[in-house]
Amino acid sequence: MRIVVGVAVVRDGKVLAAYRAGPDGGWEFPGGKVEPGETEEQAAVREIREELDLEIKVGASLGPAVGIDERHRLHVYLASIVAGEPVLREHAELRWFARDELDETTWLVPDRPFVRELLHQL
């Protein structure tokens, strides 16, 4: 089972989301696969640097990992920006969501439990 890390980057009470286009598209927490020899936190820092050109500080987990498919599990962490502004590289769109805009139904299914937990923390 391979772990995929998602990162809920929070700034000024808003969370950064990335839109994955396509027939199964939707909003997701940006991130990616943990490589061999990497911790989940290290993978989160690397993936956000590669995808968004941001330097982040990884914070608390938003709960236990959930299944994406038969081979992957998603684990989402809170994070804050240390340096940079998000750059759109791999997704169709980036958006900052205020707490009252976080409608979990517009998110990819594996991300939804983390959206619910995030609502309790914002």
Taking the C-alpha atoms of residue 4 and residue 20, their distance in angstroms, rounded to an integer, is: 15
The reported pLDDT for the residue numbered 103 is 85
DSSP string, 32-92: EEPPTT--HHHHHHHHHHHHH--EEEEEEE-SS-EESSSSEEEEEEEEEEEE-----SSSS
The reported pLDDT for the residue numbered 94 is 97
Which residue in 69, 84, 53, 58 sits closest to 5, CA to CA? 58
pLDDT of 90 higher than 90: no
> Which tens digit of pLDDT belongs to each residue from 28-65?
999 999 999 999 999 999 999 999 999 999 999 999 99
pLDDT of 122 higher than 90: no
Q: What is the pTM of this model?
A: 0.94
pLDDT of 70 higher than 90: yes
Q: How far is CA 21 from CA 12, 51, 55, 74, 108, in A?
A: 27, 15, 25, 19, 11
pLDDT of 14 higher than 90: yes
Q: Which domains does the chain have, with CATH numbers?
A: 2-121 (3.90.79.10)
